[in-house]
Amino acid sequence: MTSAEEAGSGFALGPVAVPKASDVLANHLREQILSGALTEGAALPVERELAASVGLSRGTVRDALRVLEIEGLITTRPGRAGGSFVRRPDATTLQRSLSALVNGRGVRYQSLLETRDALEPAAAGLAAMNRTGEDLARLDEAAARLKEALDDIPTFLQRNAEWHMAVVAASGNEIMQIILDSLSQAIVAATDISEFNSPKTMADTLAAHDRILTAIRKGDPVKAESAMSKHVHGYRVLIESFAHPDELRV
């Protein structure tokens, strides 16, 4: 056996993954959109022209455009004046993805509460530093609407979520707003339980909100964060005592 044969005797080739042409095209267009090379509202060439320009079949082009439409990066309009148009990512892009992930994978409710425990106190602290007069007015209105719903558990839960989102909005942190807003409806749905939402639980919720709002109004981030931490963690302990966390899935 020659030295070359000896060197190659232990060499083995495995399957080589070749990307689909539609994925390559989708990646290229995605980069153009995210970089700003393709601007918001810009019309893409019609399928026939796009296929001819990139040297791919119309079916391949159609598959690539479908991927981008699902991702929210293009919109498709029917009719003579229709076609595919560039859409820059916005908050709803991530919200749709998070909501699909949470609901589609049956995420444990405990995971939602852990995420809330980590983010909402920080949001309350930021709200104390960044809130405006308009933010405080929205928080006051949300608090009033919540108190009006004490006799209607589904409405109370929805308005409670709205109050919490008003706090997050006052933080001025867009990423926190997107994440927590995406999770808020899953939390509402998982806690729509009459036995859990007793008059005492709802009264404790209102009292906790008052403490948090007082700290935010005073511009005290330490107290706002502490008060929110006690509130959301206490809520988590209560719901986990009500049912085993593994039984609670979204």
Helix segments in 12-152, DSSP class H: 21-35, 47-54, 58-70, 91-104, 109-130, 133-147
The neighbouring-strand residues paired with 1 are: none
89 — pLDDT class (breaks 50, 70, 90): confident
What's the rounded mean pLDDT across residues 174-183?
Answer: 86
**Helices and strands (H, E) in the chain, number of each type:** 11, 2
Look at residue 12 in the predicted model and tell me its pLDDT. Answer: 73
Q: What is the mean pLDDT of residues 112-126?
A: 93
pLDDT score for 2: 58
Question: How far apart are the C-alpha atoms of 10 and 152, rounded to whole Å?
Answer: 73
State pTM to two decimals: 0.68
Taking the C-alpha atoms of residue 106 and residue 91, their distance in angstroms, rounded to an integer, is 23
User: How wide is the angle at C-alpha 207 spanned by C-alphas 201 and 211, nearest 5°?
Assistant: 140
Give residue-wise pLDDT tens across range 204-243.
999 999 999 999 999 999 999 999 999 999 888 887 776 5
Question: What's the pLDDT score for residue 134?
Answer: 96
